[in-house]
Structure formats: structure tokens, C-alpha cells
Amino acid sequence: MKHHLPPLDSLKAFESAARHLSFTLAAEELCISKGAISYQIRRLEEVLQCSLFKRSVRQVYLTDAGQTLLHTTRKLFDELGETLERLADKGAHSGVSVAATTYVAARWLSSHISRFNEQHGEVAVLLQHSVNSADFKLADVDLAIRWGQCRQRADPTHFAELPMPLFPAISPKLLERLEINASEALDSRQLHVEPLCSVPLLCEERQQDMWQEWVQAGAALQSPLKNPKRIISDANVRVQAAVDGQGLILADDLMQNELGNGLLVAPFSEKLTGYGYVFMSAAARLLSEDAQTLKSWLAGNICD
């Protein structure tokens, strides 16, 4: 299909001059003469058969047509720049970038990537661990694994989900100090009375109070917990703190090593469901063939 577009040089000259409202500054930015800027804009105005600038002795102003064209050209140039940058990144790295916390990478993703590479040894997987940082952007990576609500892929960026019920876990050493039998079954009501009401709740810094959601999920007693909170952002450090007896932790099935070895026990029967690990890729992002391969493989092997 043939596109009837003005010359790109004319559009570049116009966008720069319109952004600066100065032919002189546009000439400096594009490393050409001021006369060349004027020529390219006159050329564009002839093609469009309308004036784009109002010219005065010391200043130029955009006409209504110029304002409309500037809005469109800036948007298109920005999108073109982002696309070229992504393509350049793909060529430079020639791998599939996956964002995940060190906790998920060590306890789930690493073993799955090993199995994936047995079938697709030619695909390099690059791990990025900034998935929980405030400035994380899904568009900066190919795939991401984040903790969140499992909504059966209601979000178009979600391509798979790994539900993980949450349940409290505690060190047997801490239970011994509290004079509680490690084999004794507990429920959430006991967190409202001594000695458990004084035990710190280990958690990450987030607006959601996952401990209170856990309490509300159980039918035993739904009043607010009064336990002190200890914020530990790194999940691996939080697990070790629980093992060391620093408090209670909301565990998931990725802690089976500690639970299986008896470093932690899970004496509470109540569980909080509806959350888990969400597998994501930006809906508008152009994934490479390798990224599509890994995405499909993960979706098909998520529960293995």
C-alpha cells in the first residue's frame, strides 16, 4: 500500500521548529542551516496547501493547522523512537528478559528455566530482579512474574497464573519459647490473645494488609490483629527471619523446603486464597520469536 506522506526531512524540520518555536534552535538541533529549515517548512506547507506558522519579526507561532500537525508528529516520532529502541535492545541482547524477584527465581523459575533449556538450548534467558521496584515498567522486559490477585486472566497483560494460598508459618523454636506444642493445631482466634498476640507479624511494605485479609478469610474471628508488624521487603530475608524465630510469616507453597525440613511449621488451618504469581507480558509489546517460545512454554508447564 502506498502512503501519500510528505518528505520525512520536512516533517523533522517542522517538528523541531514547532517544538522550539524557533527556526534558529531547530537548525542547531538538526545541524543544518536556518535557511534549510525555512525551505523544508515551505516545502511542507506547499504539500499541505496551508500555513503552519505565523511569522513575526522576532518570533514564530503555530497556526491551528500547525498545532494539529505538531500533536500528531510528536506522537508518531515518540512511538517510532520507542520501537527502534526496543528493536536495538533485542539485537544487542539477543535473549529473553524475565523480571522476577530473587525469591521466585530461586524457588520456582530457576528449575523451570533448566527444563526449558533442555528443549530450547538456543534461547538465552536474562533475569531481572527489579520487578517490585517503584519504577518497574512491564514494557522494559519481555515477561514478568509478579505477586497479585489471580483473576483468571481478566487483565490482557496476564497470560498465566499460579495460585498460591497463603497460610501462617512459624519456627518450632519460637513456639517452644512461647510454651506452645509445635504439633498443636491453632486458629486465628489465638492471635488475639497471649502469648501469640505479642508475636511480630513479618510482612512486606505494601498498602494491602495481607495479615488482616487472612484473618477475614477465616470464620473464626475477624477483628483487627494487634500484633506488631515487622517490615522486611526481601522475601528471602523474610523467610530466614521466620526460621530464626523473629515472628510469624505468611507462607506459600514455595517454602516447602523449610516446611519439609521442619525449620518452619504451619499449625493454622485457615488459608487466604485468590492470590498467587501472575505471569505477564505487555499487550502491545512485539515479542521476539524466542520470547514467544518461552511464554508459551511457561503457560503450558506452570503447574509442573
| Helix intervals (H) in 181-303 | 210-217, 235-243, 256-260, 289-301
Which residues, including other chains, have CB under 8 Å from residue 35's CB and lie 6 or more apart?
Answer: none
52 and 184 part of one domain: no
Query: Does residue 252 sit within a domain?
Result: yes
66 and 211 part of one domain: no
**Which pLDDT band, with edges at 50, 70 and 90, does 2 fall under?**
low
Query: Does residue 247 sit within a domain?
Result: yes
**Is the pLDDT confidence value at 190 over 70?**
yes
Please provide the DSSP assignment of 168-201 as one string: EEB-HHHHHHTT--TTS-B-GGGGGSTTGGGSPE
Residues facing residue 61 across a β-bridge: 54
More confident residue, 155 or 16: 16
114 and 236 part of one domain: no
What pLDDT is recorded for position 183? Answer: 86
Max avg pLDDT among 37-46, 80-89, 152-161: 37-46
Among 27, 58, 92, the domain-final residue is 92
Where in the sequence is the domain holding 238, given as residue range(s)?
167-272
**Is the pLDDT confidence value at 227 over 70?**
yes
**Is the pLDDT confidence value at 51 over 70?**
yes
What pLDDT is recorded for position 221? Answer: 59
What pLDDT is recorded for position 1? Answer: 45
Query: Does residue 117 sit within a domain?
Result: yes
159 and 190 part of one domain: no
Mean pLDDT of the chain: 88
| φ/ψ of residue 237, rounded to 5 | -65, -35
What pLDDT is recorded for position 89? Answer: 60
Residues facing residue 201 across a β-bridge: 229, 248
Among 43, 67, 92, the domain-final residue is 92
Query: Does residue 124 sit within a domain?
Result: yes
75 and 24 part of one domain: yes
CA atoms within 13 A on the CB side of 123: 22
Structure confidence by residue, pLDDT tens digits, 133-143: 777 888 889 99
**Is the pLDDT confidence value at 220 over 60?**
no
CATH number, domain of 171, equals 3.40.190.10
What pLDDT is recorded for position 90? Answer: 56
255 and 171 part of one domain: yes
Region 142-170 average pLDDT = 89
49 and 185 part of one domain: no
CATH number, domain of 33, equals 1.10.10.10
What pLDDT is recorded for position 285? Answer: 64
175 and 268 part of one domain: yes
Region 210-224 average pLDDT = 79
What is the pTM for the complete model shown?
0.68
Helix (H) or strand (E) holding 136: none
Query: Does residue 284 sit within a domain?
Result: yes
Number of domains in the chain: 3
Question: Contacts from 262-266 at CB under 8 Å and sequence distance 24+?
Answer: 262/172, 263/171, 264/169, 264/170, 264/171, 264/172, 265/169, 265/170, 265/171, 265/172, 265/175, 265/182, 266/167, 266/168, 266/169
**Which pLDDT band, with edges at 50, 70 and 90, does 228 fall under?**
very high
281 and 161 part of one domain: yes
157 and 289 part of one domain: yes
Is 153 in contact with 279 (CB distance < 8 Å)?
A: no
267 and 211 part of one domain: yes
Max avg pLDDT among 43-52, 196-205, 246-255: 246-255
Query: Does residue 3 sit within a domain?
Result: no
**Which pLDDT band, with edges at 50, 70 and 90, does 58 fall under?**
confident
More confident residue, 200 or 282: 200
**Which pLDDT band, with edges at 50, 70 and 90, does 94 fall under?**
low
3-state secondary structure of 125: strand
More confident residue, 89 or 114: 114
Is 7 in contact with 43 (CB distance < 8 Å)?
A: yes
Max avg pLDDT among 15-29, 144-158, 256-270: 256-270
The residue with cell 513575526 is 56
The residue with cell 519481555 is 142
Query: Does residue 1 sit within a domain?
Result: no
161 and 285 part of one domain: yes
What pLDDT is recorded for position 57? Answer: 74
Query: Does residue 2 sit within a domain?
Result: no
Max avg pLDDT among 79-83, 123-127, 132-136: 123-127
Among 92, 112, 136, the domain-final residue is 92
